[in-house]
Amino acid sequence: MTSDVPKGEKLYEGKAKILFRGPEPGTLIQYFKDDATAFNNQKKGTIAGKGIINNRITDLIMTRLAGIGIPTHYIRRLSDREQLVHEVQIVPLEVIVRNIAAGSMSKKFGVEEGTRLARPLVEFSLKNDDLGDPLLAEEHILILGLATEEELDEIFEMSLKINDFLRGMFAAVGIDLVDFKLEYGRLAEEDGYTLVLADEFSPDNCRLWDMRTGEKMDKDRFRRDLGGEVEAYQEVARRLGISLDAGD
């Protein structure tokens, strides 16, 4: 498999991925970069091989979520850094699911990091780096027309189902799923659209702690200058049964 950047028409470049026009109508090629950013792009760096690992982990998780009835934009993996996805209209929300207090929740609300929450917490923020991705109440979302009430209900239900499944999946390999970010999109169909899970799921957009040692196994190692980012990402993949051998 090649790691060359696709030669097709580039439609969008984000902090961790590039989107190219796909080979079939209504499809995109999602290319995973090694670039690492934190604090709304204020801190920048590179984690060698991150794009390959994130592509493989996203492939595994999207496939497993589809297996429990979660609709996704994912079609298939194309190469070590590329996957084919359906083109969707992204709902301009970041959906954060929290099981354990960490990161911004601990800072904003004075909750000690590592405090286990009584039940999973679903938060919404505006997907806008220039504004700092501000936290939103459901009324904000409805009044600003970011999503409908029916979409919010569906997002809430799907997010909790995803959380329930992934917590068990990671616990089975000795990892605590602390929190994670999801994005959803509207997939156009003949009679309307379907709300689907989009973007990616990887150590870039979730917090993963070793259940025995509490060791961080995610992008917090980059955010907090802990080092060992490559090894942490590789260990998550290894525990999930993903081989990173060349050509696999």
Q: What CATH number is given to the structural domain containing 68? A: 3.30.200.20
Q: What band does 2 get if pLDDT is binned at 50, 70 and 90?
A: very low
pLDDT at 248: 52
Q: What is the b/e burial string over 50-61, where b = at least 16 CB atoms within 10 angstroms of the residue's CB?
A: bbbbbbbbbbbb
The percent of residues in the chain predicted with pLDDT above 70, rounded, is: 95
DSSP 8-state code for residue 72: B
133 and 150 housed in the same domain: yes
Domain containing 197 equals: 89-227
Quote the mean pLDDT of the chain. Answer: 94
pLDDT at 213: 97
Question: CA–CA separation, 214 vs 175, rounded Å?
Answer: 9
For residue 233, is it within any domain?
no
162 and 82 housed in the same domain: no
180: left (phi over 0), alpha (psi -120 to 50) or beta: beta
For residue 236, is it within any domain?
no
108 and 179 housed in the same domain: yes
pLDDT digits (tens, 9 = 90+) for 140-197: 999 999 999 999 999 999 999 999 999 999 999 999 999 999 999 999 998 999 999 9
Q: Calculate the alpha carbon distances from 91 to 155, 194, 198 in Å.
A: 10, 12, 10
- Number of domains comprising the chain: 2
153 and 66 housed in the same domain: no
Question: Does residue 7 carry a pLDDT above 90?
Answer: no
3-state helix, strand, coil in the chain (%, to 5): 30, 35, 35
Q: Calculate the alpha carbon distances from 17 to 110, 114, 177, 238 in Å.
A: 33, 30, 23, 23
Single pTM value for the model: 0.93
The answer to whether 82 and 54 are in contact (CB under 8 A) is no
For residue 39, is it within any domain?
yes
For residue 241, is it within any domain?
no
44 and 105 housed in the same domain: no
96 and 77 housed in the same domain: no
Question: Does residue 3 carry a pLDDT above 60?
Answer: no
Q: What CATH number is given to the structural domain containing 133? A: 3.30.470.20
For residue 215, is it within any domain?
yes
Question: CA–CA separation, 143 vs 56, rounded Å?
Answer: 38
For residue 244, is it within any domain?
no
